[in-house]
Amino acid sequence: MLNSAEGILLCVVTSEAVLGVLGDTYIALFNCMDYAKNKKLSKIGFILIGLAISRIGVVWIIILQGYIQVFFPHMLTSGNITEYITYIWVFLNHLSVWFVTNLNILYFLKIANFSNSVFLWLKRRVNAVFIFLSGCLLTSWLLCFPQMTKILQNSKMHQRNTSWVHQRKNYFLINQSVTNLGIFFFIIVSLITCFLLIVFLWRHVRQMHSDVSGFRDHSTKVHVKAMKFLISFMVLFILHFVGLSIEVLCFILPQNKLLFITGLTATCLYPCGHSIIVILGNKQLKQASLKALQQLKCCETKGNFRVT
């Protein structure tokens, strides 16, 4: 049974997951409808669809594994459920972080304006950057899956050993560490591009700060808002992987449910929070969501009027 603190945190985690899935579903549907209407899909639209779909899968895997470890921990030390979850997790998590990295790079190359020769070279070759990152993703998978398969096969060979439970925990930790090595590159690139974009926006705001004309004052507010979104993304992104690290470490501390659920809460903050950031930061998504909310409010008002 869960105590009150654990129960409250689990409710928070579930709420985060539901909001994250709803937000990502909205992003995917909006971009798919836009493609069906215009018969054209931009790079950002493609990335947003892929990010939303992959992140929905990531959220479901996080919640599934979290509920299993909280209520049925014996299932993780028997059978093949850990292996199945790990394979799916590696595929979806790599894909999700890859899409996030591409999105950050595209925004960085589109918004920023540095005089650096490397930056200018990259800005003229956006397609080449996209192809390079695709190759990095495939390489990450090719290196990750064989190693993971080897670890899982070795773990099965020791299943009859009397110290199997302890060994399985060690194999699980090794497995998680190895399978997440491939995304470190994407994490670093994503955080660096966000940081550089924040630096550019901050310098731009400082340069425009002395001019209080209407247009520039509005432009300054837009840049400050973008900086807040980027900083929020970086905080959520870091908390996500801190939460994942706590979850992995809690596999060797099965009795410490409060610490595990705390890590689960931090992990689920990012999918939910980033969906909101993407919707609020994208003009079309924001306007469409406001229209949808207005229509729902009108329908609710008409319904209440008819009832009365």
Interval 103-127 mean pLDDT: 84
Instruction: Please report whether residue 305 resides in a domain.
Output: no
Instruction: Please report whether residue 306 resides in a domain.
Output: no
Digit-coded pLDDT (tens) for 156-191: 555 445 444 455 555 556 656 666 666 888 888 899
Q: In the numeric block, which tokens belong to residue 36?
A: 């069906």
Digit-coded pLDDT (tens) for 2-31: 778 878 888 999 998 999 899 999 999 988
Which structural domain range is residue 123 located in?
Answer: 4-292
CATH number at residue 273: 1.20.1070.10
Instruction: Please report whether residue 299 resides in a domain.
Output: no
What is the per-residue pLDDT for 173?
Answer: 60
| pTM for the model | 0.83
Instruction: Please report whether residue 125 resides in a domain.
Output: yes
Given pLDDT bands bounded at 50, 70 and 90, which one contains residue 53? very high
Instruction: Please report whether residue 78 resides in a domain.
Output: yes
What is the per-residue pLDDT for 162?
Answer: 43
Instruction: Please report whether residue 308 resides in a domain.
Output: no
pLDDT at 149 over 50: yes
Instruction: Please report whether residue 115 resides in a domain.
Output: yes
Give me the number of domains the chain comprises. 1
Instruction: Please report whether residue 300 resides in a domain.
Output: no
